[in-house]
Structure 1
Amino acid sequence: MRETVQLLRALDELDATQQQAVLATVVKVEGSAYRRPGARMLIPPIGGAVGTVSGGCLEGDLIKKAWWLTELGEPVLRTYSTGVGVDAADEEEELAFGLGCNGTVHILLERVRGGQTPLPLSLLRHVQASGAPAVLATVIASSDDSVRLAERAALDPTGKLHLTLRQAALTRALEADLQSVRQRQSPALQRYRLAGGEVEVLFEYLTPPRRLVVFGAGHDAQPLVSLARQQAWQVAVIDARRHFARRERFPEANQVLHLGIDQDHDLAALLESAAVVVMSHSYSQDRHWLERALRLRPSYIGQLGPRSRTERLLDEIGPISRHLPAYARLHYPMGLDIGGDAPESVALSVLAEITAHFNGRAGGMLMAREAPIHDSVPALHG
């Protein structure tokens, strides 16, 4: 998410100076690779590139060659092989990197002109501003003369359809499949057979910044807020104690709110689909904020402290506590078992667990994972 913010800032600078740049996007990965489809890098004519498309292995070659590869103004697909001993000397469109990753990375290169924001970046900007997801479909290969590389269709955060292609049969298919990806909330690849050949399309599910609500403005909340903001998450800090809930204590937070527990506050919109952490170190506050969170619809609730303390909080909330809407998403004690007890270690532990939760992972050690580190992008239809 931080890269998205940096890309959009770079785009603003491009618009201000009316300069050109090259947008590089990972659109397909076969085998192992550091970045997944949807990773982007903006290469300006002067200065350093913004974003990454690999672990630093491919960026140098792209920066050197992206401009002349796109000198005709047309999109270009660049393919890199990262296996040991791969010989691509005779392949005009494939460059071999003996990195031992045993993967193939396909990168789409497109010219971007200041003042003419391309659909992918305008969609990302809309997602960031609205806080709602969108879906982008990009043609990444075509043997049909009526469909060109990098033609697109999209559903913006309001559900409005955007098209840059004119092939009627493909347009109809994409309209339906954009809705399918929106419901699945995950990326997909799909091939389409048309009268003139075959077309391959990447579907990206573009998510807004993660949101974190921290109940408790103590000193141990500060590194958690800082770490979350490094990931470009939207962070709100809430405390009933005025001397804790101060902007100067949390300069990086998006919101710092002083809310008393003796008043009724509408927190539904703030907590909807967010990660919630309860860590006020005040028993009465924790009981109040935990009950409020359990009655609403956050994606994750973490309660700081020993298991026995949280069990006592739940008992005092009442028998209904374990039947409230968000109880199944309550984690206590919160965080991954990494062994540290300093505030910075607790912050790392908690944010790691929340990240694993959002990504549908258990948060264990990768050395114990038998499946590949990254999930492959599946076909939308079999």
Structure 2
Amino acid sequence: MLNIADTLHHWCREARPFALATIVDTSGSTPLPVGTSVAVHEDGDVVGSISGGCVEGAVYELCRQVLADQGAPRRARFGYSDADAFAVGLTCGGELDVLVQRIDPAAQPHLVTVLAEAVGGRAVAMAHVVDGPADLLGSLASVLGDGSVAGTDLAGNTARAVTDQTRAALRTGRTARSTLGGDADTCPERLSVLVHVAATRPRMLIFGAVDFAAALSQAGRFLGYRVTVCDARSVFATPARFPHADEVVTDWPHRYLEHTEVDARTAICVLTHDAKFDIPLLRLALDLPVGYVGAMGSRRTHDGRLRLLHDSGVREEQLSRLHSPIGLDLGARTPEETAVSITAEIIAQSNGASGSPLAQRTGPIHQLSGRAVMGTPGLNKTTQAMVSSQRSPEWAAFRVPQP
């Protein structure tokens, strides 16, 4: 539905009902992807397209019916009909599943907020229940770029489970459908949720054109990051050495970081372990509103790095954000294993998780809210103790920034 955000924002500001038809599933060749919507205003105006024209008339009529009877959402499936060339169907040969529902902006004020953010070019995500119990079908939940919930039609554990899933999709920057629930501890109802995402890919900035950077750039790209490798040494910073990076930059790390765009989803990984690069770079990175800052090096390197950063004026609360030595304790040795260690830590932080083995935990595998962090009510004492036992004193002051 975010493909027509500008018009929907205008209609929501008017607080007048409209019908929304959304592609929730496809098979074979279809003109447009899952998540694409068409909307019909109560005065008959229409915006968007879901098929390039071949089933628009039938979808328009369904929208008008839903508006007229103010009934429950309806599902319809359209496919190719070779028996009748004029039958409603997709001439491309594929099939698409469409959910048609009535939207009442007055009852869903969060739509104005999330659509305004999308129109303004800011990251947002909207969860859309496309399969499940009849009373939940068509329900929406909106999450803003900082991870906060703009509003939801859901309640209780179901709302928390859906918004957690929405945050996860927002971090990837991809519209996707997923199934969740069926667990009384997390989400009692089994749901299929389509999360509409309007967001650029999150950035992973890797400083240091080393073998570890090559492996990490591949892992970062696999996770959906837009990866940049930066090094001041042109002989090492070449696209041929980093084929999985989206860009390779030759520049002094701190100078590049000073002039590049970052946000709360950005992961900064410093792999140079050379003080002349690290210290000015980390001084700047720890003062930026990014999601993750990690630096490679031994314990001795880490201790010396902390002293130099402290002596250069970096405050204790800033130092507490630094993940150093970088990565989780997986016993990694090779560049590839180290890349897994680093990305595992990034994933754990972004979800507010401890990084401890699931076998050592009790309760649900998927917590109701991954935003919980140490020192906040969301983590119980057992989990806090596990985290404390695995981290240095600097980690104890760490707070997970909202993505």
TM-score by length of 2: 0.49
Q: 2:124 aligns with which of 124, 134, 142?
A: 134
How far the C-alpha of 1:239 sits from its partner, in A, is 0.8
How far the C-alpha of 1:366 sits from its partner, in A, is 0.8
Distance (Å, rounded) in 2 between the aligned partners of 1:327 and 1:304: 15
How many positions carry a matched residue from both structures? 246
Counterpart residue identity of residue 359, structure 2: M
User: What secondary structure is seen at the aligned counterpart in 2 of 1:270?
Assistant: coil
How far the C-alpha of 1:303 sits from its partner, in A, is 1.1
User: What secondary structure is seen at the aligned counterpart in 2 of 1:314?
Assistant: helix
Aligned to 2:138: 150
Measured at CA, do residues 364 and 149 of structure 1 come closer, stay the same or move farther in structure 2, by a change above 3 Å?
Answer: closer
How far the C-alpha of 1:266 sits from its partner, in A, is 2.2
Q: 2:154 aligns with which of 166, 190, 202?
A: 190
Measured at CA, do residues 307 and 185 of structure 1 come closer, stay the same or move farther in structure 2, by a change above 3 Å?
Answer: farther
Is the CA contact 2:143–2:149 (under 8 Å) kept in the aligned structure 1? no
Distance (Å, rounded) in 1 between the aligned partners of 2:215 and 2:137: 45
Is the CA contact 2:252–2:277 (under 8 Å) kept in the aligned structure 1? no
How far the C-alpha of 1:274 sits from its partner, in A, is 1.4
Q: 1:220 aligns with which of 212, 223, 228?
A: 212
Counterpart residue identity of residue 110, structure 1: V
Distance (Å, rounded) in 2 between the aligned partners of 1:258 and 1:153: 42
How far the C-alpha of 1:295 sits from its partner, in A, is 2.9
Counterpart residue identity of residue 154, structure 2: Q
Q: 2:239 aligns with which of 222, 243, 247?
A: 247
How far the C-alpha of 1:133 sits from its partner, in A, is 2.5
User: What secondary structure is seen at the aligned counterpart in 1 of 2:126?
Assistant: strand
Q: For 1:220-299, what aligned pairs fall within 5 Å after superposition?
A: 220-260=212-252, 266-267=258-259, 269-270=261-262, 273-299=265-291
How far the C-alpha of 1:272 sits from its partner, in A, is 5.2
How far the C-alpha of 1:288 sits from its partner, in A, is 2.8
For each residue in 1:251-302, what CA deviation from the matched residue of structure 2 results, as whole angstroms up to 9, or x when unmatched? 3222221113696862463365411111014332222322221232322111
User: What secondary structure is seen at the aligned counterpart in 2 of 1:302?
Assistant: strand
User: What secondary structure is seen at the aligned counterpart in 1 of 2:285?
Assistant: helix
Measured at CA, do residues 262 and 292 of structure 1 come closer, stay the same or move farther in structure 2, by a change above 3 Å?
Answer: closer
Measured at CA, do residues 230 and 345 of structure 1 come closer, stay the same or move farther in structure 2, by a change above 3 Å?
Answer: same
Aligned to 1:365: 357
Over aligned residues, Cα RMSD in angstroms? 4.5
* Runs of 5+ unmatched residues, structure 2: 4-20, 35-57, 64-72, 76-96, 101-110, 157-161, 172-198, 371-403
Query: Do residues 343 (structure 1) and 335 (structure 2) align?
Result: yes
Measured at CA, do residues 295 and 279 of structure 1 come closer, stay the same or move farther in structure 2, by a change above 3 Å?
Answer: same
TM-score by length of 1: 0.52
Is the CA contact 1:296–1:326 (under 8 Å) kept in the aligned structure 2? no
How far the C-alpha of 1:305 sits from its partner, in A, is 1.0
**Identical positions, percent:** 27
How far the C-alpha of 1:327 sits from its partner, in A, is 2.0
Counterpart residue identity of residue 318, structure 2: A
Distance (Å, rounded) in 1 between the aligned partners of 2:344 and 2:228: 18
Distance (Å, rounded) in 1 between the aligned partners of 2:203 and 2:298: 25
Measured at CA, do residues 263 and 215 of structure 1 come closer, stay the same or move farther in structure 2, by a change above 3 Å?
Answer: closer
Distance (Å, rounded) in 2 between the aligned partners of 1:377 and 1:255: 34
Query: Do residues 374 (structure 1) and 366 (structure 2) align?
Result: yes
Distance (Å, rounded) in 2 between the aligned partners of 1:260 and 1:248: 20
Is the CA contact 2:292–2:346 (under 8 Å) kept in the aligned structure 1? yes
Aligned to 1:43: 26
Q: 1:304 aligns with which of 289, 292, 296?
A: 296
Aligned to 1:61: none
Distance (Å, rounded) in 1 between the aligned partners of 2:264 and 2:360: 33
How far the C-alpha of 1:183 sits from its partner, in A, is 6.6
User: What secondary structure is seen at the aligned counterpart in 2 of 1:333?
Assistant: coil
For each residue in 1:171-214, what CA deviation from the matched residue of structure 2 results, as whole angstroms up to 9, or x when unmatched? xxxxxxxxxxx77359966259xxxxxxxxx6645444332111
Measured at CA, do residues 76 and 337 of structure 1 come closer, stay the same or move farther in structure 2, by a change above 3 Å?
Answer: farther
Measured at CA, do residues 244 and 76 of structure 1 come closer, stay the same or move farther in structure 2, by a change above 3 Å?
Answer: farther
Measured at CA, do residues 184 and 290 of structure 1 come closer, stay the same or move farther in structure 2, by a change above 3 Å?
Answer: same
Aligned to 2:202: 210
Counterpart residue identity of residue 184, structure 1: S
Is the CA contact 1:268–1:297 (under 8 Å) kept in the aligned structure 2? no
Counterpart residue identity of residue 226, structure 1: Q
Counterpart residue identity of residue 353, structure 2: R
Measured at CA, do residues 76 and 370 of structure 1 come closer, stay the same or move farther in structure 2, by a change above 3 Å?
Answer: farther
